[in-house]
Structures are given as structure tokens and as C-alpha cells.
Structure 1
Amino acid sequence: MSSRYGRNESLIMLSASGPIGVFDSGVGGLSVLRHIRAQLPDEDLIYFADSGHAPYGSKSEAFVIDRSFRIADFLLSQKIKALVVACNTATAMAIHLLRDKYPDLPIVGVEPGLKPAAAKTITGIVGVMATERTLSSNKFHVLHQTLNDRTGVHFIMQPCPGMADLIEHAELDSEPIHALVRRYLTPLLEQKADTVVLGCTHYPFVRHVIEKIAAESGCPDLRIIDTGYAVARQLTHLLDIYAIRRGKTDCASAMQAYTSGDPKTIGHLIARLLQTTMPVAYISL
């Protein structure tokens, strides 16, 4: 492995007043950001949408690792006190390397959600909707095998090529997104899955489509696992451990977004997905 990914020798100074950095291959991580904002309303947040290189699910491992380090380095230059890898693919490919390089920095990743799904299923059959890259990662394979052996739950892996890309382009209610969700969800329902894991942070934004198609297919009580809440809860836990959680102040918390894509598009999506406005600046890294 290149020395680029070696341990960072300089000490990272963490301040309670510093912002929290969050990144994803695109806008999917906003589904995690909204949970962070809800649980930690007093914290300043910086979001990086790497939309110029989205989606990561179709990219090589080396590419995802390189982008993850470039973005982490940029966010550290903004004096962040914690990093959230709000992308399933980047978590699977790069988070262990980020933790090795930055041992002093609290880093939270997105877990696939298999464990809570195994606890919720009644039929013992769980569908996993994710990118091909996430499903093929060693981290995912080990977790899947461990839970399968321990619980006896049968996990059906469903790669969903194209879904994240449509969501990235704000197709949340279009006929193409309905067609893709139906294509990927139907085989899971036909195999009696009563629980579905959303294994990509983009997918919660089409949860309403998943629920609609499940109901039309005779499965109105489908359990859907979105791990954004758990990520925010773990982040809160780490901030408390490090004693860097920001207390209440008279100043309103601030949010700033950066993107390697088109700032206007990202700004529009933030307004639509989060019902708020946020300044967005372009940076290529």
C-alpha cells in the first residue's frame, strides 16, 4: 500500500467548537446527515458530495480509496473534529485505512444493517439491496457469513445497478426509478423476504417507492432497515467519549456543502431532500 495511506504523524487537535465532516459519493449521505442534524442540532456540519465521481458502486477499490483519502484530507483542512463516511462502498473499502492513518480522529462508517435485519425478520429471510461493490467487499462478506452462521437467517443479495445514479439525478418519483425498484425488489418478495436492508445511503430517498411496490405486491408490512439513525447515535457516543460534543450556544449551528459536481444541482437536491438550504461550493480535489 502506498505511503499515502500510512499513519499520519501529525497530531490532530480536536475542539468541541469544530465542525463534523460528512462525505458520500454524492447526495446519498444526506440521508445520514438529516439524522445527525436531528440528534445533534447544535453541531456545525460540513458535507462533501463527490458527485463528479458518483456512483462509487461501479468504481474500482483503488479509486474509491483514493477519493476517500482526498476528501478526508480536505475535510481535515477545515478543522473537523469527527468524520462520518456516509457511503456504504467507501466504508467497506476505505474506512479501516482512514482509521489507520488518523488514529486520533473519531471516524464513523455506515454498517450494512444486516444485524438489525436479522433481529427483525420473522420469516428468517432478509433481502439486501446494495451496490455491486458493497456486496463484493470482504468486510460485507465476513459480516454476512458470521450472521448467517450465528442466526441461521438467509440473506438474499440483490445488486441494484443504476438506482443510486437515478437518485443522484433527483429521479425520486419517475417511471425509471419505479421500474428499477420493481425489478430489484420483486425477486426478494417472491422469495418470501419480510425484511429489506437499504445497503446504500441513496436508497432511503426512494423508501416511499419501495413501500408502494411492496404494498402492491401483497407485502404491506415489509420491514425496511435504514441505518442512518444508528450512524448518528454512534457519532453522538464517540463525541461524548472524546468530550468534544458541542454544548448549546446562542449561535445557530452552521452547515456548508462542497461538491466535485454541479453546485446548483446539489443545492437543489439538498433543498428537496432535506427541506432546507445550504451554501454549496465547487472543489475538484
Structure 2
Amino acid sequence: MHAPSPDAPILFFDSGLGGLTVLGPTRALLPTAPIVYAADYAGLPYGKKSDEELAARVPALLGRLVERYQPRLAVIACNTASTIALPHVRAALDLPIVGTVPAIKPAAEMTTSGVIGVLGTEATVRQPYVDDLSARFAAGKTVLRHGSPGLVTAAEAKLHGLPVDLGAVRDAIAGLRDQPGGDAIDVIVLACTHFPLLRDELQALAGPGVALIDGAAGIARRIASLTQGQRWPAEARPGTAAFTHSNASPPPSRSALAPYGIGHIETI
């Protein structure tokens, strides 16, 4: 494989704006890396779609994005898409693909009560992949799951400058706490990249004795490792955000994306 051009971007892909929580720590490690952030607003929310639909939709859309932007590496910055479509994407595309999986392993190492909560989309929490992670890394511990589509909507609203639906946050925490053993949860895995956008709201309702954990920092380190030794531009340039067209979900303003290094917005 030829060494990529310094201008070849890292492509981040999500159903919406959740992948920005992965982009942020990646930019901290690779400050001059060219960035393309792609959000499939036409398909939002992924958590409501069937496994079969996502297994077909995600590789096809990523194929179009790779052809258009010629990235050096693609990041599926979406737990739902990763747990369902990652093998299909890797089979279809000839470039490194980094997925996003629930941070159950570090949560199991952190818990003292032995009870872990996993908050994700409905599609993510039902996946056998989560069963496998729990069996491999949290054997002997209790792993409680709850699917919360309302948190995705609340996170998107927050980045659009709208009020946060605290009822959705309250319902998500209650969805874990109200399960048998839920009162002993001391670590909650944020198994959707949207959810760290609501970290303050979730922490306030979960209480100070509960740690919230996600996998973004580990994903950023993986990206840095896979691109080690590659050339980058001498200076950082504004990144590009590309949104699939949706009448129901218009893209956010440039000012909302500017803190993540995004300066251009396109519709695809």
C-alpha cells in the first residue's frame, strides 16, 4: 500500500452528531490531521432501524464517501453501526476501518459494586456482540442494559442550541436503576457516541457515586497508532462536515461545529 498523501483525510462516520465525541479526542492527538465528518441525517436514528437495513445501508454509504473523499482511514464513530455493520464494511472497503464498541472492559475493571449499567440505542443493547463483551470482560459481574432512543434526540437538540429534554435523561437513568440490582450500579457505559454530549445532564441524575465511561479516548489512540509515521499537513485546516439530506433534520450551524475544527458544511 502506498503511503497516503498528507492531505488525505480521516473520515468519521455516524448517523448524526454523536461521532463528534470521538473526533474531539482524535484532534487533540493529531491536531493537523485533515478531517471529514459525515452524518447520515437521512437515516437518523439508526437505533430504530433493523439489523438487515443497517448492514446494507452503512457499507453502501461509506463506499460513496470513500470514493468522494479518498480518506486514509475511516472511523465508524457509531456503536449501533459498528456492532451491526462493521464486518460488512471491512469486507467491502480496501482501507483501515476503526469501529466503536461499548466500553464494557474498562467498566468491569472500574466497578467496585460489581454492577454495571450499559446505556445505548435499542439496536446496540440487543446485539449478541454486547453479550460477548460481557462474557469476555465482565464475567461474574452484573451487566444491566437499557436502550434509550430519546437520548439521541436530546443530544442532537443540544448541539442545535435547543433545550435538553431532561425527561429523556431521567427516563434513561430510571431504565437502568429500576431493573433488579440497578440501585447498586456504580459505573454506566455510554454505549452510544451521542450520549457523552449529555454527560453533565446524565451525571446530575445518576449521582456523584456513579462513574460514566465511554470509549472515545481509546478510539483516538487507535487512530493515532494506525497512522503512526504517516505525513500530515504542517498546519491545521478547517475540516468538512457532510450530511445526507433530510427535511426533518437540517444540519447544525457552523458555530456549533467550529469547536470541533469543522469549517465547511456540505450536503451529499
Instruction: Determine the structure 2 residue equivalent to 1:282.
Output: 267
Describe the SS at the equivalent of 2:54. helix
**In the TM superposition, what whole-angstrom CA distance separates every residue of 1:26-70 from its partner, at most 9, and x where no partner exists?**
111111111111111111010111012101011011221222112
Q: Paired residue for 2:205?
A: 213
Q: Does 1:228 align with 2:216?
A: yes
- Whether the 8 Å CA contact 2:254–2:265 is kept in 1: the answer is no
Q: What residue ranges of structure 1 are gaps of 5+ in the alignment?
A: 1-11
What code does the residue aligned with 1:15 have?
A: P
Question: What CA RMSD, in Å, does the superposition of the two structures yield over aligned residues?
Answer: 2.5
Which of 86, 90, 97 is residue 99 of structure 1 equivalent to? 90
- In the superposition, the TM-score normalised over structure 1's length comes to 0.83
Q: 1:14–1:80: 8 Å Cα contact kept in structure 2?
A: no
How many residues were matched structurally?
Answer: 261
Q: Cα–Cα, structure 1 residues 273 and 281, in superposed 2: closer, same or farther, change >3 Å? A: closer
**TM-score normalised to the size of structure 2?**
0.88
CA distance in 1, matches of 2:252, 2:2: 31
Which residue number in structure 2 is paired with residue 200 of structure 1?
192
Counterpart contact for 1:22–1:47, Cα < 8 Å: yes
Shift of 1:222: 1.5
Instruction: Kindly state the Cα deviation for residue 192 of structure 1 after the two structures are TM-superposed.
Output: 1.1
CA pair 66-139 structure 1, distance change in 2 beyond 3 A = same
Match of 1:131 among 110, 121, 125: 121
Contact 2:113 2:185 in 1 (8 A): yes
* Aligned residue among 130, 145, 155 for 1:167: 155
3-state SS of 1:200 partner: coil
- Classify 1:75/1:187 alpha carbon distance in 2 versus 1 (closer, same or farther; 3 Å): closer
Amino acid across the alignment from 2:189: V
Quote the residue 1:181 is aligned against: 169
2:136 aligned residue: 146
**What is the CA-CA distance between 1:173 and the residue it aligns to?**
8.8
Aligned-pair identity in percent equals 30
SS of the residue corresponding to residue 266 of structure 1 reads coil
| Maintained 8 Å contact 1:118/1:124 | yes
Partner amino acid, structure 1, of 2:75: V
Summarize the alignment of residues 1-285 of structure 1 with structure 2, pairs less than 5 Å apart: 15-17=4-6, 18-77=8-67, 78-102=69-93, 104-149=94-139, 152-170=140-158, 177-189=165-177, 190-215=182-207, 220-240=208-228, 243=229, 245-247=230-232, 249=234, 251-261=235-245, 265-268=250-253, 271=256, 274=259, 277-283=262-268
